Amino acid sequence: MRKIVAFLIIYTFSLTIYAQVNEKVPKKRLQNGFASMDYISIKMPNDIYGNPEVNMGLTGIHYNLFINKSVYTGLGFYGSVNGKRGGLFTLGVNLGIKKQFANNIFFDTGFHFGGGGGAAAPDGGGAMFLPHINIGYRFKNFSTTFGYSNMNFFDKGNITSDQIRVGIQIPLSYNYAAFKYKEKLFHVAALKNTEWNLFSKQISVKLYVDNLRPYGDSQLTNFSSLRGKTIHLAGIEIASYFTDNWFVYFRADGAFHGIPGGYMDLFLGVGHRFSMNKNNTNILTKFAIGAGGGGGVDSGGGFFIYPDIAIEQRLFNDVYVSINKGYLLNPNQHFTSSTFGFGLKYYTNQQGIKKKNNKYYNASKFKGIEIFIGQEMYINAKRVSNSTEHLHQIALQMNFFLNKHIYIAGHTSFADFGNAGAYAEGIVGIGYQTKPFFNNKVEVFGQFLAGAAGGGGISTGQGLILKPSIGFNYMLNNKLSFKTSVGKVKARGGDLNSTSLNIGLNYRISFLTAN
């Protein structure tokens, strides 16, 4: 009798696994893409007295996805790292063609369109257009590019320049499943005989508050000293582990208190994690380079280095609390500051179910992610001194779903029209999205975001803004939806208090996590 019962249990369990593998396991899809960095030296116009200005060096960080074998599209940031315009940043959309024509040699042409500005540069409304034409050479793990580009801040700006463009490209592809599978849970046994039987890769996301304490000769552009002041920043950090303990990371933050709104920085770095206490406690040493400035901070050309050490302690599951101490400085010590901050960090293992030691995780789940790119308008945005008019921005938002309906969001936007080229935002928050209805074509959402904003003469006080909104998604296909929303943006300590309108495209996928 016991043998019969045992047989029935095993048989039933086998049928369950068989059904999951053959009917329910999402198809693994591959998205080819590449990350890239490039450098251009922009010829700046003479000042109002006719005196020449040194060239402005811009470094770009991009990530592009291939639409087919040759055409790609993606997103990119540029930031000043040389000259006298530290704090000038842009965000834009890339579109290009990359075609191999001889062995390891390829042709790459396209353009970057976006918005931004800062550091009192003659950027007009902020809209900029940057076409390029490059020749590239492909090595085993990366490629180099060299070619021509043209920079044009065309909305009443006064920056136009032809220049050489040099860069490096690294293949960076990923596996994904359709967005509809978000929060689907599978036992690892159900995935062992599928395409998802791969080694996992660990990533982490941290939301944090950092505090800068400038010292030495650090000053504002009006020559007043920054010594003794504290600049409060809020930001996001994303890390990807390429070994068990070595990782690369990207971080971006902006000031919300302590100086006039408008300061921000972007960093790309490498770090090492030392784990102890059964992996409940970690010490991380990190080193990053990047660009920063704005908000009246005199950061020279904008190039920064940032050594940092952090201690993090597990709170529950894969969530940690983090405390960090570091130094932010120009190599020539034009701006120097100690840093101290804290944050919340989330780790996840993704794209596979297998550990480095060939053992398997216990369970797996597909998590949903959305990436939105679009255009935003603030109606009658109040200015510090200039006359009131509409403010237009290019906006980027990433949503990570905690469950089927609730998501956390990171949002940034840069002015492109409306006579406020230096204005930018870096804000985070939480949202709720309904089940799809109307033949699974429509979803309604509401969200509340808050964080740092400033620049461009927009009246944001010391930079803290609040931004609630509601809207809907209309599904175009399995990966893309049309998205629009209406809301309110209110500056704490400033006069900005406008209705916001938002419209654009939403890229939606799910990715496999394991624990």
pLDDT score for 60: 95
pLDDT score for 7: 41
- From CA 55, how far away is CA 40, in angstroms rounded? 10
**Token duo for residue 137:** 């050479």
What domains can you pick out in the chain, each with its CATH number?
Answer: 32-171 (2.40.160.20), 201-350 (2.40.160.20), 364-514 (2.40.160.20)
pLDDT score for 233: 92
**Token duo for residue 451:** 């964080």
> 48 vs 15, 158, 222, 284, 294, CA distance in Å?
79, 12, 18, 48, 21
CB burial readout 17-56, b (16+ within 10 A) else e: beebbeeebbebeeeebbbbebbbbbebeeeeeeeeeebb
What mean pLDDT is predicted for residues 125-131?
96
The residues, ordered by sequence, that sit 6+ positions from 270 with a Cβ below 8 Å of its Cβ are 246, 247, 248, 249, 286, 287, 288
Say how far residue 352 (Cα) sits from the centre of its chain: 23
Task: Say if residue 120's pLDDT is above 90.
Answer: no
Determine the straight-line distance between the first and last CA of the chain, rounded to whole angstroms.
37
Percent over 70 (pLDDT), the chain: 96
pLDDT score for 3: 43
- At 10, is the pLDDT very low, low, confident or very high (cuts 50, 70, 90)? very low
Could you read off the pLDDT of 405-436 as tens digits, one per residue? 999 999 999 999 999 999 999 999 999 999 99
pTM of the model: 0.90
113 in Cβ contact with 92 (< 8 Å): yes
Could you read off the pLDDT of 368-400 as tens digits, one per residue? 999 999 999 999 999 998 889 999 999 999 999
pLDDT score for 278: 87
- From CA 84, how far away is CA 211, in angstroms rounded? 24
Task: Say if residue 18's pLDDT is above 70.
Answer: no
- At 25, is the pLDDT very low, low, confident or very high (cuts 50, 70, 90)? confident
Could you read off the pLDDT of 323-340 as tens digits, one per residue? 999 999 988 778 899 999
- At 47, is the pLDDT very low, low, confident or very high (cuts 50, 70, 90)? confident
**Token duo for residue 505:** 């495209």
Task: Say if residue 5's pLDDT is above 80.
Answer: no
Could you read off the pLDDT of 444-499 as tens digits, one per residue? 999 999 999 999 999 999 889 999 999 999 999 999 999 999 999 999 989 999 99
Report DSSP state, residue 437.
Answer: B
DSSP β-bridge partners for residue 372? 397, 506
pLDDT score for 430: 96
- At 9, is the pLDDT very low, low, confident or very high (cuts 50, 70, 90)? very low
**Token duo for residue 173:** 């592809």
The residues, ordered by sequence, that sit 6+ positions from 172 with a Cβ below 8 Å of its Cβ are 33, 34, 35, 63
Other beta carbons within 10 angstroms of residue 136's beta carbon come to 19
- From CA 226, how far away is CA 217, in angstroms rounded? 8
When the pLDDT of each residue in the chain is averaged and rounded to a whole number, the result is 91
pLDDT score for 197: 92
> 443 vs 180, 237, 435, 438, 484, CA distance in Å?
12, 29, 6, 9, 11
Winning range, highest mean pLDDT, from 180-189, 196-205, 255-264, 479-488? 479-488
DSSP β-bridge partners for residue 393? 376, 415
Could you read off the pLDDT of 299-312 as tens digits, one per residue? 989 999 999 999 99
- At 295, is the pLDDT very low, low, confident or very high (cuts 50, 70, 90)? confident
pLDDT score for 74: 96
Could you read off the pLDDT of 342-367 as tens digits, one per residue? 999 999 999 899 988 888 998 899 99
pLDDT score for 262: 83
393 in Cβ contact with 413 (< 8 Å): yes
Percent over 90 (pLDDT), the chain: 77
- From CA 263, how far away is CA 255, in angstroms rounded? 5
Q: Is the dihedral of CA 475, 481, 486, 487 positive or negative?
A: positive
Could you read off the pLDDT of 60-115 as tens digits, one per residue? 999 999 999 999 999 999 999 999 999 999 999 999 999 998 889 999 999 999 99
- At 20, is the pLDDT very low, low, confident or very high (cuts 50, 70, 90)? very low
Strands 127-138 and 319-329 turn out to be unpaired
